[in-house]
Structure 1
Amino acid sequence: MKKIIEFTHKVPSKLLTPTSGFLKGYSHSLNPYTGCSFACSYCYVRKSPVGLFRKQEWGTWVDIKQVTKEKLSRELMNLRKRNKEITIFMSSSTDPYQPIEYRERITRQLLEAMVEVPPDFLFIQTRSPLVTRDIDLIARLGDNVRVSMTVETDKESVRKKFSPFAPPIQARLKALRQLKEHNIPVQIAISPVLPFSDQFPKTLSALVDRVVVDDFFSGDGSQGRRTEKLHIKELYDHDDLKDWYGEHAHKHAMRLLKSSFKDENIFFSQEGFAPY
């Protein structure tokens, strides 16, 4: 399966965006790209202003922000001069390690800037094994960073049904092992909850101590209304998946996780993505 993606280079006026809503615990979000070629069927950004304004199908276009590490360094230093706490969520509406990053290396430049002018905390949200390429930089941020790897299921058949262009599950788990070996703080985000096997919690607990569960109703920024517009429920109407859709799904997932994780290491939605 292959799709044509339109790439456009753009020069942003600013890189750091003040946050609110779901990310109100952070001072800023940082998106190296606009758009995302992983094109996950359930991505809430499809029905957000970013996705709707473009009038093009989500996943078929990506804007590449032409940046330099010097530009982000200046923004960070200006915040430091004003004695501002800097907590950054990267990224809120794109994946910083989508395939074009192999070539463009925008995210790597941003990390180089943050190594020179460190934020108080950096949260890296991705579903891509490419994050391991930057272990050398991420490790230099010490305990002031967390890599959150999305692993919604352990079933490849489910992954292919809901997000066929996203990286394979085993590749993501391998990346987590590498991050952990370099003592980088990590967590797994089962976000959103997709159907998984009874063995999934045990598999995850061998890799991480911390897991966050999110669903379509708490995590799409509109209490599930965006997800309703995407007709995601229709994907659950076959293959005995009906029990996994609904506002109860996250509770079912969290009950299963308790067989392998301590209660205090299982988080739900916003609390699991908070800084520190």
Structure 2
Amino acid sequence: MKIEVQHKIPKKILTPTSGFLNGYSHSLNPYAGCAFACSYCYVRQSPVGLFRKQEWGTWVDVKQEARELITKEIRNLRKRNKEITIFMSSSTDPYQPVEYKEQVTRALLEAMAETPPDFLFVQTRSPLVTRDLDLFLQLKDRIRISVTVETDLEDIRKKFSPQAPPIQARLKALQELKEYHLPTQAAVAPVLPFSNDFPAKLAQVTERICLDDYTGDGSQGKRTERLGINDIYEKDQLEYWYKNRPSEKALEKMRTSFKPDQILVGQKGFMPF
């Protein structure tokens, strides 16, 4: 799929949060749009996804001068004695393919290593995240890196997010981050159909998981429902995983490999500190 890439200079790079991310002071999106184009992505139904009038996954805006902007904004917040907790990213993936060339995310991390926030949560599904190990280590005491792993079944991944990275590559990335003793988690969000071996596979690469289903889309599942995601489940006779709160089913399974304090559910798993 060809991606239309545009370069734009935003007025600001940090956005005050509310709703699902109200535990943070700001969200940080290095890009607008996302080439991974996951079928269930709630951003498709958000203003950034709807107002563009282009199919989600076919366009990406690169935010230029990001390093200068975030340094200035963090310093201004510090002058006002504000706590700075940042969620990166809420409406894009900071390590989507365009990052290989543009390196906006890396520039932002370089700036935050020099002028750090109080806490940074990095959310991605890309193994490219391991490229920035050097910067994560500088932020080690004030960071958590969350890698989405919704299932361990490649055929399921291909049904729901064919443009996203393979599952095994994500597990390998988590393993590498763990080897450097960085705070990580696997975000099983949304929970997709998985095998009985999935809990053990996750336990090998991280000590913390977060479970969520489509109720975590910011509208208790209504945004996702409007996407017609249930059609994918019905086509492959997987309705049970859609209609029966799969996060509860997953919780029972994950307890075989994780201690209770290593399993977080819903919003709690994405909160700072």
Amino acid at match of 2:268: E
Decide which of 141, 144, 149 is 1:143's aligned counterpart: 141
Contact 2:213 2:245 in 1 (8 A): no
Aligned-residue identity in percent: 64
Decide which of 99, 105, 108 is 1:107's aligned counterpart: 105
Contact 2:175 2:204 in 1 (8 A): no
Aligned to 2:83: 85
**Matched positions, count:** 273
Amino acid at match of 1:16: L
Structure 2 counterpart SS, 1:245: helix
Give the ranges of 4+ consecutive aligned residues of structure 1 lying more than 6 Å apart after TM superposition. none
What displacement does 1:247 show?
4.7
Aligned to 1:257: 254
- List aligned pairs for 1:100-249, cutoff 5 A: 100-217=98-215, 219-249=216-246
Structure 2 counterpart SS, 1:72: helix
What displacement does 1:249 show?
1.2
Amino acid at match of 1:233: N
Distance in 2 (CA, whole Å) between partners of 1:107 and 1:30 is 10
Contact 1:149 1:176 in 2 (8 A): yes
Distance in 2 (CA, whole Å) between partners of 1:246 and 1:140 is 43
1:247/1:20 Cα in 2 relative to 1: closer, same or farther (>3 Å)? farther
What displacement does 1:68 show?
4.1
What displacement does 1:71 show?
2.2
Contact 2:30 2:66 in 1 (8 A): no
Per-residue CA deviations over 1:130-179 (Å, capped at 9, x if unaligned) read: 01000000110022100000000000000000000000000001111111
What displacement does 1:246 show?
2.0
* 1:29 equivalenced with 2:30 (yes/no): no
Structure 1 counterpart SS, 2:78: helix
Distance in 1 (CA, whole Å) between partners of 2:57 and 2:144 is 26
Contact 1:34 1:93 in 2 (8 A): yes
CA RMSD of aligned residues (A): 0.8
Distance in 2 (CA, whole Å) between partners of 1:32 and 1:153 is 26
Contact 1:215 1:247 in 2 (8 A): no
Contact 2:13 2:66 in 1 (8 A): no
What 5-or-longer segments of structure 2 have no aligned partner? none
What 5-or-longer segments of structure 1 have no aligned partner? none
Aligned to 2:270: 273
Comparing 73-82 with 97-106, greater Cα deviation is found at 73-82
Distance in 1 (CA, whole Å) between partners of 2:45 and 2:68 is 33
Amino acid at match of 2:214: F
What displacement does 1:181 show?
1.1
